[in-house]
Amino acid sequence: MKVAYLGLGIMGSAMAANLARAGHQVRAWNRSPDRPGSAGVAEAGAVISSSLEDAVSDSDFIFTCLSDIPDVQQVLVGPGGVLEHAKAGAVVIDMSTIGPRAARELSSQLSNGGLRFLDAPVTGGDIGARAGTLTIMVGGEATDLDECRPLLEVIGKSVIHCGTVGSGQCVKLCNQVLCAVNMLSVSEAFVLADHLGVDRQLILEVCGSGAGGSWALSNLGQRIVNHDFAPAFMIKHILKDLRLVDESIPSFADLLPATALAEELFKLVARQDSEAGNELGTQAMILAYSKRR
């Protein structure tokens, strides 16, 4: 299949590489041409395009994986974007997290220009992106999903149709609430272990297989034990996702108090070292506890 992949960050580069390794004709593009992930995508067999137009003009399927709503809007419907250069009938699959309102607005704009749209945010982290084991939450027409499914099944082990356009984003926001609060509980379990004189590694080994186990404990917990705060998913991105949750419901803090506390702690870490904490992985929430003592 002829595929364009736009956005070669930690997640996008891994997904684009997997599509290329599966034998699809992938043309990849990133707004910053020196993105580190580009080399790995090229090694996997994709063509790195010098322009968005070159990437999308002959592609039947156009993936985007970008940071925030303005980025997706610029690439899809802005001047010189996908709407201007894609061929009629192409399917745009946006894997960013942008919330249901933005997804529906973009779908309408693209549809008016003769393009089809699926919102398809993912979960599973950098590990799942590299392994092709992501969970993909899809909103849009079932017939469009059926057409794209062979591609999505290269990227993820679980491809779920959540409903109409925007539904994938709704489910993703619920997922991000779980991620945020899980990181809160992992951090607090380790803080309690420290105070009780229990080794953090023991918590991983015992609790990871019990009723308190979670993806966050098994995967990000080990990074905390190793004092590894390099990002798989940056704090600035979870804060953006929690902002979208806030924008989607009334009385955010009253309705979701644990999520509001998680957001507060992420913000505390983000402000460290002149905002450099924004670039750390979400497991760096544990650093907030040392600041609160």
Active site residues: 172
Residue 161: helix, strand or coil by DSSP? strand
Tell me the CB-side half-sphere exposure of residue 87, using CA atoms within 13 A.
Answer: 11
Tokens of 144: 């469009």
Q: Is residue 154 within 8 Å of residue 147, measured between CB atoms?
A: no
Element (H, E) at 194: helix 167-196
Tell me the CB-side half-sphere exposure of residue 216, using CA atoms within 13 A.
Answer: 24
First to last CA, the chain: 55
Gap between the Cα atoms of 57 and 260, Å rounded: 43
